[in-house]
Amino acid sequence: MNNLLRLFFLVAIVSSCITDSDDRFERFSFDGTGYRPIYTTEEDMAKIAVIDAQPLSKPGKIYVLDPYLFINESGKGIHIIDNLDPKNPKNISFISIAGNYDMAAKGKYLYADNLTNLVVFDISDPKLPKLTKTVPNAVPVNNYPPFNNVYFECVESKKGIVTGWEKVPMAKRPNCSR
């Protein structure tokens, strides 16, 4: 009997986690908005290039490794600045990296996010950084939005890798929720 009871609770607990598309009742109310996955193809993700210095447009986070300064261009890549003389900083090159917001550096290596990848550059020559390594899925994005009690469009892996979520108005309650 005791075991039966345990089994019952186990089943109850497990089934409570399942996202059920046939759910008749709403666990929480649908307010007409839901999250839609933003997909990126592996091809687009792999587009990384070192180009000439670019003007700042939407500067984001900064990182210092003397005498260099790294400035993130939101979602686009990294400006490399020679800051030996802070009164006269020189914009020397730009690494174009899809989906980049963060970086850190040590010695001759620069680490950056490239959507869900971690990429490593050899910056011995900061005018010409070289991509030396790509670690896939280092910054994982789950197949659900990072919020609780929300509705979202179910992920279709054939469309690509989920690299973000946008909240949009939805006419119909989507099938997935958490």
Partner 1 sequence: MKKIAPFIFLGLAVLGLVLILTGCEDGRNDSALNPQTGAGGSMARFAITGNTLYIVTKQSLEVYDIENGTNPVKSVKKDMGVGIETIFPYRDNLYIGAMDGMYIFNNINPRDPKLQSKYQHIQSCDPVVVQGKYAYVTLRNGVSCRPQNTASSLDVVDVSNPTAPQMVHTQRMTSPYGLGVSGSKLFVCEGPIGLTVLDISDPAKPVFKKTMGDLPAYDIIVRDKHLIVTGEKGLFQYKHDDADNIEFLSKIPVL
Tokens of residue 168, six digits: 């949009």
Tokens of residue 34, six digits: 């839901």
CB of 1 to partner 1, least distance (A): 36
Q: Closer to partner 1 by CB, 32 or 59: give it.
A: 59
- Distances in Å between the Cα of 98 and the Cα atoms of 33, 69, 144 are 28, 20, 21
Which member of 105, 160, 174, 175 binds partner 1 (CB under 8 A)? 105
Nearest-angstrom CA–CA distance, 73 and 170:
32
Sheet with 176-177: list strands edge to edge: 161-169, 33-40, 151-152, 176-177
Binding of partner 1 by 104 (CB under 8 A): yes
Hey, which residues between 35 and 94 contact partner 1 (CB under 8 A)?
55-66, 69-71, 81, 83, 86-89, 91
- Site residues, partner 1 (CB under 8 A): 55-66, 69-71, 81, 83, 86-89, 91, 101-109, 111-113, 118, 120, 122, 132-133, 135, 138-142, 146-148
